[in-house]
Chains A and B, each alone.
Chain A
Amino acid sequence: MWTAGIFYSCWLDLFNFLIYGYPTVKNTYSLVCHQDPAKLINLSCGNSFVCARCLGIYTGLLINSFLHIFHEIKLKKNFRLVLFATVPMFVDVVSVAAGIYDYSKTLAFITGLLFGSILFLYLYNGLQNLIIEIFKR
């Protein structure tokens, strides 16, 4: 639902009454993204509510959660995994900020996708352990 909400403008074509919630929903996504117009994904029905990188992160979380239904991927006890996911995104953010190269939506999306996919493993493991801890009592 969260990922679908990113393309709220497109849903407006199907459900007109959603227009009442437009400013509030846009404001909600502004809490989790800077919403810089130059970094948003442009579709014929309107702009996305989050930038390419954030869209990549949420898409990574979504895709991995679907994949998890069919095949459970175990989180390895290796700290390098989080570095492997963070470094490309960090390098991209710093390089763009330093002016080494221009912002690329594709690159931002891919680095976000990688980060989101790995993040899901931590999130899933964390939620699993939380449930175990709660029911242990």
Chain B
Amino acid sequence: MKKYLPSFISGFGAGVLHIVPVAKSLACCLIVPLASFTALILDRRANPTDEKISMKKGALVGLFTGLYAALFGTVFDLFITLVTKNNDIVAMMPELQKMISAFPLSDAMRTEVLNLFESVRNDIIQYGFSPLYTFSIIINNTVVNSIVGTLGGLIGAQIINQRLNNRNEY
């Protein structure tokens, strides 16, 4: 467990930041990569060494950070949706309806799409929970955050190794 503690802490932080609007607007797309970088630094602090970080380790730490970020991000998102009975999908509905009306779709397709989105919206407004929405954010968060986290871990390991190189040269 100790091995995954830096990823856990950074992943938790990223999960929290995902739902804080101000933090999200500042760090934007760099939240999860920065969390991976932080996890690598925390790991280095916990196990001080002069050795370079292997790319495999960088990728693994990043992957776990992304997975923890996805786990916490999803739990927080679902919890907030359950309590407030409102979320991005509900807010997006008027824009979506307008868009669907403007598209040259067949009547059958238009009705089908609108019914599908309406059912998700109604579930969220009534119960604060929609199985389709839950499924989509679990898949979304897991796939996107694990990829972005892994890439962040690889880049972070490169940066830390480069800093180490520079320090050794002086």
A interface with B by C-beta (< 8 Å): 9, 12-13, 16-17, 19-20, 22-24, 26-28, 30-34, 36, 46, 50-51, 53-54, 57, 75, 77-79, 82, 93, 97, 119, 122-123, 125-127, 129-130, 133-134
Q: Establish whether residues A34 and B89, one from each chain, have CB atoms under 8 Å apart when the complex forms.
A: no
A-B contacts, 6 listed (Cβ < 8 Å): A19-B100, A77-B162, A79-B159, A79-B165, A97-B26, A122-B154
Given A32-B29, A34-B28, A130-B55, are A77 and B154 also a contact pair (CB < 8 Å)?
no
Given A19-B105, A119-B155, are A31 and B140 also a contact pair (CB < 8 Å)?
yes
- Determine chain B's interface SS by DSSP, over half rule: helix
The 8 lowest CB-CB distance pairs between A and B, nearest first, are A126-B154, A130-B55, A32-B29, A34-B25, A129-B55, A122-B155, A122-B158, A34-B24
Chain B's nearest CB lies how many Å from the CB of A5?
11
**Residue of B at shortest CB range from A137?**
B56
Select one of A22, A122, A130 contacting B59, CB under 8 A: A130
**Chain B hits for A9, CB < 8 A:** 99
Q: Establish whether residues B28 and A27, one from each chain, have CB atoms under 8 Å apart when the complex forms.
A: no
| Residue B157 at the chain A interface, CB threshold 8 Å | yes
**Chain A hits for B99, CB < 8 A:** 9, 12, 19, 22, 46
Q: Establish whether residues B104 and A32, one from each chain, have CB atoms under 8 Å apart when the complex forms.
A: no
| Residue B137 at the chain A interface, CB threshold 8 Å | yes
| Residue B21 at the chain A interface, CB threshold 8 Å | yes
Select one of B32, B117, B166 contacting A23, CB under 8 A: B117
Q: Establish whether residues B25 and A133, one from each chain, have CB atoms under 8 Å apart when the complex forms.
A: no
**Chain B hits for A12, CB < 8 A:** 99, 103
| Residue B151 at the chain A interface, CB threshold 8 Å | yes
| Other 10 A-B pairs with CB < 8 A, given A34-B25, A123-B154 | A19-B99, A23-B92, A24-B136, A31-B145, A57-B29, A122-B159, A123-B151, A130-B154, A133-B55, A134-B56
Could you give, for residues 146-170 of chain B, a 1 whenever the CB lies within 8 Å of some chain A CB and a 0 otherwise? Answer: 0010010011011100110110000
| Residue B46 at the chain A interface, CB threshold 8 Å | no
**Chain A hits for B25, CB < 8 A:** 34, 36
**Chain B hits for A16, CB < 8 A:** 103-105, 109
Chain A's nearest CB lies how many Å from the CB of B3?
19
| Residue B80 at the chain A interface, CB threshold 8 Å | no
**Chain A hits for B6, CB < 8 A:** none
**Chain B hits for A30, CB < 8 A:** 88
Q: How far is the CA of A29 from the CA of B32 in the complex (A)?
A: 13
